[in-house]
Structure 1
């Protein structure tokens, strides 16, 4: 899996380039302890244990995915390998550094990643019983090349949004995204892009991420409601310690260890990661769509998750490591599964309604009825301007006159009292006879 949280265009999910079946990749050291090569007519085909263990060969008795298109949004699908001859029917580049058909590998480290992913989904093999064969070997592939890191001329979030829209517009029935951002949140611009895919009846399959690459829990786009997130297990069906992670959005689990992949130059390598588990499930989705062309995306996903094999000891109904269980291609194609009316992996539109409300426009205002207001009484006529030092009628009436009356009364009373006192004193001085 390509991991963006650790660094843009980060390395593979685990120790991905380990060993070829007989020839070591040019860019990788030979595994000091390679697994023994099976002794059969074709060791490549014999090493694909998931074909028998996960019901894929059984499902081929019903369909091989003819007529279904899988868009691989990744680092490009190589032109040379015979396993891709006749498989890639369309492509584009959204990074600004690839080729117009999406067939030029992008990235010095991850350039082969897109080819490995595509080969697990729909490789054609090199003969009837030789060479690597994909889960849906008659499905059509669409190569959508994206770039990671400073080399890309287009921001990553814009690349993904454009890649999804192009895939939908060019007839994708299934989209595979083996990448993560290592954070649960996603750019708001992805809302419209993923909604466009869901509303266009496209199944979107996403890898959960890997602890070996620093992903301790699922990150976007694996956290987006509506996508089918895939966790990883080892060849014995146990949750992978390094080549998977955990999270409540995991829908099903598929093999993520000791996987094969066809490189852009045609060499077959052994690699690990949910980057490989996702295209296995994307191939199963193609088988279901081919067998049941009348089903919408929600019911395709429902058939895959509802027919998954339960894992002993796992939490029910959803386990953070296994989701609903281990994918079972034969059951997903042929089991009797009741129809549903909603995507079991959730609704992005409902999530947007609940959590993007702050971004919505203001609520429309209800116009109020006009209210008649009685006219105000006429204003008092302006009086003649006078000096504030001159008395007015009100100050004379209510101030000067009362004060004068009080003062006069007080004076007369004082004079009367004084006169009386004087008479009393004079009288007291008159001698008695």
Structure 2
């Protein structure tokens, strides 16, 4: 498998979108996507209560206050983390899972200030992965196990903020992702970043049916470093100058579709909370059909922007015709066509088979005798016919011989006694 990428850039300086006058809540003011993506308007309807978002990443740290009461369960699938999935993993990117979770469903301070996630009333599941060669469990196996664990523990939304930098994926992911889709779970995936070496969308964002997220800057323009391109991108969300809570509780700014994906995952949670009876296919349809057109898009969907820029309020409030299939593709059809599934069993014959009478029983074997002693059969079919043919021949031969001798004797006597 290709090198994995988490799209984590070096921290930026908070204040990329400065306000004219100082504000008592600079962190909240820096979250430009809350207003820009109409998240604050969607909060008039719901803040995500009753929905669970699984963050399959490096682990959600225990210390930050933004996760108090938010993380309800967790596990580790890497073999090197803690059982509850709350120990951040990775020597360089251990903050990644906490930053992702804070964007999706981080809690504000007790007084309502400070950084806040898109769906602050949603619950979180922390599933820790081990990236690179440090984990004893193969990465593909980790992801497959994590997907199934998340579904079995109540996830309504799964967020995957990583890429493999390759279009293909391990066959074990077929069943894992299909398991999520069959259990009505929306899977949100980061498209990847050019800045970390992803020129084109890679798996798992290439899996049919996932909600792949591209990245844009504060002006809605596709990010040159903190996004990528590909036909599987469904929608775009901010990926530059994002806030995120580190494992030690500090708030940093960062770039990447690793942050754009949880913003969309939070919006998915808002839609699911506002419409608890809506299935995953229709939730996805609401997300893509209500996306705002990107000014620089040249197609619909566009390889940079997908169907457009995420709009939380529209996705929550829109009334759309119901769909009966995932508008982003059917993984089961892909598996059938590309994995060369076993052919169906041949049909059973319907005609009545022809009855064949049994063969006659074999003769009872006789007692074995010596081949030197004549048997009745050998006398009847061998010896007697031979005698019948041989004896007359011998007698005839003897008679001919005797007659010949008499003739020779008579001629000899005539030569000895000529006529006078």
TM-score, normalised to structure 1, is 0.79
Higher mean displacement: 159-168 or 346-355: 346-355
SS in structure 2 of the partner of residue 252 of structure 1? strand
Q: Which residue of 1 aligns with 2:184?
A: 201
Q: Which residue of 2 aligns with 1:429?
A: none
SS in structure 1 of the partner of residue 181 of structure 2? helix
Taking the TM superposition and a 5 Å limit, the aligned residue runs for 1:87-106 are: 87-106=70-89
Matched, 1:251 2:234: yes
**Cα separation, 2, equivalents of 1:103 and 1:346:** 33
Q: Is the 8 A contact 1:201 1:297 kept in 2?
A: yes
Q: Is the 8 A contact 1:65 1:139 kept in 2?
A: yes
Q: Which residue of 2 aligns with 1:364?
A: 346
Change beyond 3 A, Cα 1:320–1:366: same
Spell out, residue by residue over 1:106-132, the C-alpha distance to the aligned partner (whole angstroms, 9 max, x if none). 001110000000000000012344211
Q: Is the 8 A contact 1:16 1:273 kept in 2?
A: no
Spell out, residue by residue over 1:67-103, the C-alpha distance to the aligned partner (whole angstroms, 9 max, x if none). 1000000000010001111110110000000011111
**Cα separation, 2, equivalents of 1:163 and 1:117:** 16
**Cα separation, 2, equivalents of 1:111 and 1:222:** 22
SS in structure 2 of the partner of residue 116 of structure 1? helix
Query: CA shift at 1:174, angstroms?
Result: 0.3
Q: Is the 8 A contact 1:91 1:100 kept in 2?
A: yes
Query: CA shift at 1:153, angstroms?
Result: 1.2
**Cα separation, 2, equivalents of 1:255 and 1:195:** 28
Taking the TM superposition and a 5 Å limit, the aligned residue runs for 1:18-417 are: 18-19=12-13, 21=14, 35=16, 38=19, 39-356=22-339, 358-360=340-342, 363-364=345-346, 366-367=348-349
Q: Is the 8 A contact 1:14 1:212 kept in 2?
A: no
Spell out, residue by residue over 1:195-245, the C-alpha distance to the aligned partner (whole angstroms, 9 max, x if none). 100000000000000001111111111010110000000011000000000
Higher mean displacement: 118-127 or 161-170: 118-127
SS in structure 1 of the partner of residue 215 of structure 2? strand
* Correspondence for 2:7 among 6, 10, 13: 13
Number of aligned residues: 358
Higher mean displacement: 157-166 or 124-133: 124-133
Spell out, residue by residue over 1:252-283, the C-alpha distance to the aligned partner (whole angstroms, 9 max, x if none). 00000000000010000010000000000000
Q: Which runs of 5+ in 1 are unaligned?
A: 22-33, 375-383, 385-433
Q: Is the 8 A contact 1:37 1:43 kept in 2?
A: no
Moved over 4 A (4+): 34-38, 365-374
**Cα separation, 2, equivalents of 1:369 and 1:178:** 60
**Cα separation, 2, equivalents of 1:252 and 1:97:** 34
SS in structure 1 of the partner of residue 262 of structure 2? helix
SS in structure 1 of the partner of residue 35 of structure 2? helix
**Cα separation, 1, equivalents of 2:126 and 2:177:** 18
Q: Which runs of 5+ in 2 are unaligned?
A: 358-380, 382-420
**Cα separation, 2, equivalents of 1:36 and 1:362:** 60
Q: Is the 8 A contact 2:7 2:162 kept in 1?
A: no
CA-based RMSD: 2.1
Larger Rg: 2
Spell out, residue by residue over 1:169-207, the C-alpha distance to the aligned partner (whole angstroms, 9 max, x if none). 000000000011111111111111101000000000000
